[in-house]
Structure 1
Amino acid sequence: MSKKILAINAGSSSLKFKLYNMPEEEVLVSGLVDRIGHQDGVFSYKIAGQPDKHETTQPIEDHTAGVQLVIDALLGSGTIQDKSEIIGVGHRVSHGGRYYTQSVEVDDAVAKKIDELSVLSPLHNPVNLLGIEAFEKLLPEAKDVAVFDTSFHSTMPAKAYTYALPYKFYEEDGIRRYGFHGQSHQYVYGEAKRHLGEKATNKLISCHLGNGASICAVKNGKSVNTSMGFTPLAGLVMGTRSGDIDPEILPFIEEEHNMSPEDVRSMLNHDSGLKGISGVSNDVRDVLEAEKAGNDRAKLAMSIYIHQIQQFIGAYTTDLEGLETLVFTAGVGEHSAPVRSRVCANLGYLGVEIDEDKNLANDFEISTPNSRVKVLVIPTDEELIIARDTLKIVGA
């Protein structure tokens, strides 16, 4: 018997949603509440099987008002006849810390822990919790489930997650590498395995390249290393985030430029990365255009960006003791043929060879028949992982 599950990804001023029939994994409605907290908020949604998208502009006071719009649309469209048809709401939550290595039903204790972990993910956990609270208020009969970005990486060995700090900081404060984008890496691994079989995907590297970006080494279906760390700031150069830097830079900047720790944190998260280096944009498309037009800083930004991705792929091939499959996903990974081409150009030593015609066409498999490594382009579906986990917990 089909059961209706909502998958939710709440941001500071947005709320993405998909309503599924499970276990068929049939998407009934998908949509976005955007510009929450503004007078010109935008609510858009599309019903499966209908050609047109519904969109309205209106004041959206807060997340509760946004959730009310979603429920009203589901009822008004006839997708559901009664709110009680939705048995579970799965929420993407950024950080589960040491407490949660798998998805859990939300109760008061879990909500408190999510709030406490906001110190580790200040841009995400607080708004993830706002989404949970809004649905608890307006869909009280549905069970709420927290699906953590960090859970997939809980299989990393200690040698990969432990920082070389005094050990008390790990024991007392939980300072370690956690990793993020877990639902995305988990999903693309599953899709690669479904298409190629387990034998060809025992040593897989997943490149989630969007405005936020991370790379994950997946060995025999388990994450063994990933580029994001204690927070989502670590690892690769991203749209506005710095990625890895020498830690001594931080007190130096604070002292030389009279900046507070909060000022520096904001700079590292919002004004660094491609945006900070290029001075053009956080969007890869804009930086590529500027590079083409002769902008030297844009050229430098792209060369650093590509170089770091290649470095992580090389390092993670060591963790995997070889490489069978390389996957590109997320906004840049799925749509930027130039980025994929430039990343793979220096990976011939690993046996990577791509077909540029297939690459330009964004085909599923872009490697040549002679390539020792399968190179895939897989659109990610984090919401489906959220729906699957939620069904496991509330579907009994």
Structure 2
Amino acid sequence: MRVLVLNAGSSSVKLRVVEADDTVAHRADLDAPHGQPAAGALERTVTELVREAGGVDAVGHRVVHGGAEFTGPTVIEHDVPERIERLRVLAPLHQPPAVAGIRATTEALPGVPAAACFDTAFHATMPDAARTYAVPPRWRTELGLRRYGFHGLAHDWASTRAAHLVGRPIEGLRVVVAHLGAGASACAVVGGRSVDTTMGFTPTAGLVMATRSGDLDPSAVTWLTRHAGIPTGEVDHALDHASGLLALAGDPDMRQVLAAGAAGDDAAALAIEVWVHRARGQLAAMAAAAGGLDVLAFSGGIGENAPDLRRRVVEGLGFLGLALDPAVDRLTVDGAEGDVSTSDAPARTVVVHAREDLVIARQVRQILAER
């Protein structure tokens, strides 16, 4: 089955035609400021790409938030787009572009079956102890306040790929995935199932990111609004768009922050220290949630292409049995993958190229085959 995979993000739309053997035959990327490509651009691109491919059998859409309702891939029919759109309050940056992408491809490819694949769905296997906040019952039951987790498609791929790279079956394997990019999260995966993750009710929680703060004392928000007089909307915007590396170093791009730090910029050096400190602590927490560690998998733009950061993170996690071989580790850039551990390290460290597109294509094939 040939699948058109559409990943509609908050600033771009990525389209991939994935063949039955998982090769990507055709691709296109569109700029989408504020989640919206130019009027008609997506429909035209979809039509052209499908024509070049000689047609497609199905379409797969990445959707960030499935809430408590969507816990697996779902065929897009009837009122599914409307139900997805109702979750925009939980992911206001990502849900509208996803729904717009669904409607655009439905118009461009009438009659072609489609399915939605949710980033939150992989974390539906987390135990109650991991997903439950210690807050009043009404907040949890009526308002749905819980830890959902995100980047599930990436964590699914990286944990499975990590098992392959170390030559071990996924069953029983304890993998911690560090998916590190502009958005970043870590996940504890045992036997291929998520048991904990660093993001929570929203993608703001957890690690330090490009413009997101990561974990923050919740009382700091009420203090900022009630005592410092900062409007709630301004605080909300700052935590997602004006925090993280941008707030610490003046630049959201880790490549620029690393270059500035190497040139002696004190603010950049501090930003890197904060980023590394938070990564070490939360990766260790994920190892604890997994009951130990067999494999640490780095993925994402930073995870795959910043060997100095990998080294600094792993150096602080030696007590988990991790040790990098620097000569091997520096070879894994520009999409290369592999085990970068020393030969005698009890726990392995691998670099995995993120491939959410293949997970989506496989989920689409599976859900349509079950109909």
Query: Quick check: TM above 0.5?
Result: yes
Return the TM-score normalized by structure 1.
0.88
Question: Quick one: distance in 2 between partners of 1:90 and 1:172?
Answer: 31
Letter in 2 for 1:163: Y
Q: Does 1:71 align with 2:41?
A: no
Q: Bigger CA drift: 255-264 or 87-96?
A: 255-264
Alpha-carbon separation, structure 1, partners of 2:168 and 2:278: 29
Structure 1: distance between partners of 2:286 and 2:95:
28
Structure 1 residue aligned with 2:239: 268
CA distance in 2, matches of 1:174, 1:37: 27
* Segments ≥4 residues shifted beyond 3 Å: 35-38, 255-258
When normalised by structure 2's length, the TM-score is: 0.94
1:147 maps to 117
Work out which of the residue numbers 129, 137, 144 in structure 2 matches 1:159: 129
CA-atom RMSD in angstroms: 1.8
Residue pair 1:192, 1:201 contacting (<8 A) in 2 also: no
Q: 1:34 aligns with which of 27, 31, 35?
A: 31
**1:13 and 1:349 mapped to 2: Cα distance?**
40
For 2:305 and 2:43, how far apart are their aligned partners in 1? 31
Please list, as runs of the form range in 1=range in 2, the aligned pairs for 1:107-256 lying within 5 A after superposition: 107-195=77-165, 196-198=167-169, 202-256=173-227
Deviation (angstroms), 1:376: 0.2
Question: Do the aligned partners of residues 106 and 199 (structure 1) sit closer, same or farther apart at CA in structure 2, a change above 3 Å counting?
Answer: closer
Give, in angstroms, the shift of residue 109 of structure 1.
2.4
Contact 1:13 1:35 survives alignment (8 Å) = yes
Question: In structure 2, what is the Cα distance between the partners aligned to 1:381 and 1:203?
Answer: 20
* Alignment-mate amino acid for residue 259 of structure 1: I
Q: CA deviation at 1:35?
A: 4.1
Q: Structure 2 CA distance, aligned partners of 1:328 and 1:111?
A: 33
* Contact map agreement 2:13 2:32 (CA 8 A) in 1: no
Shift of residue 139 of structure 1? 0.7
1:61 match: 38
Aligned-pair distance for 1:395? 4.2
Shift of 1:70: 2.9
Q: Contact 1:155–1:224 (CA<8 Å) still a contact in 2?
A: yes
Residue 369 of structure 1 is matched in structure 2 by: 343
Q: What residue number does 2:67 align with?
A: 97
Aligned 8 A contact 2:60 2:360 in 1: yes
Residue 171 of structure 2 contacts residue 191 of structure 2 at CA under 8 Å; is this kept in 1? no
Match of 1:17 in 2: 15
Give SS of 2:285's match. Answer: helix
How far is the alpha carbon of 1:365 from its aligned partner? 1.0
- Once residues 245 and 78 of structure 2 are traced to their aligned partners in structure 1, the CA distance between those partners, rounded to angstroms, is 40
- Listed one character per residue, the Cα deviations across residues 150-172 of structure 1 (whole Å, up to 9, x for unaligned) are 00000000110101100211110
Q: Would the aligned equivalents of 2:65 and 2:118 in 1 still touch at CA under 8 Å?
A: yes
Q: Deviations over 1:18-69 (max 9, x none)?
A: 10122x112110120114699xx9xxxxxxxxxxxxxxxxxx633x422312
Q: Deviations over 1:283-325 (max 9, x none)?
A: 1111111111221111111111111111112112211221110
Aligned match of 1:54: none
Judged with a 3 Å threshold, the aligned counterparts in structure 2 of structure 1 residues 230 and 35 are, in CA distance, closer, same or farther, namely closer
Query: What CA distance in whole angstroms lies between the structure 1 residues aligned with 2:73 and 2:174?
Result: 25
* SS of aligned partner of 2:213: coil
Q: Per-residue deviation at 1:13? A: 4.2
Q: Which has the higher strand share?
A: 1
Q: Residue 12 of structure 1: CA displacement?
A: 3.6
Deviation (angstroms), 1:137: 1.0
Q: Is the 8 A contact 1:200 1:325 kept in 2?
A: no
The answer for unaligned runs of 5 or more in structure 2 is none
What is the SS of the residue equivalent to 2:71? coil
Count of residue pairs brought into register by the alignment: 365
Asked if the contact 2:13/2:29 (under 8 Å) is kept, the reply is yes
* Residues 164, 11 of structure 1: alpha-carbon distance in 2 compared, 3 angstrom cutoff: same
1:258 and 1:108 map into 2 onto residues whose CA distance is 46
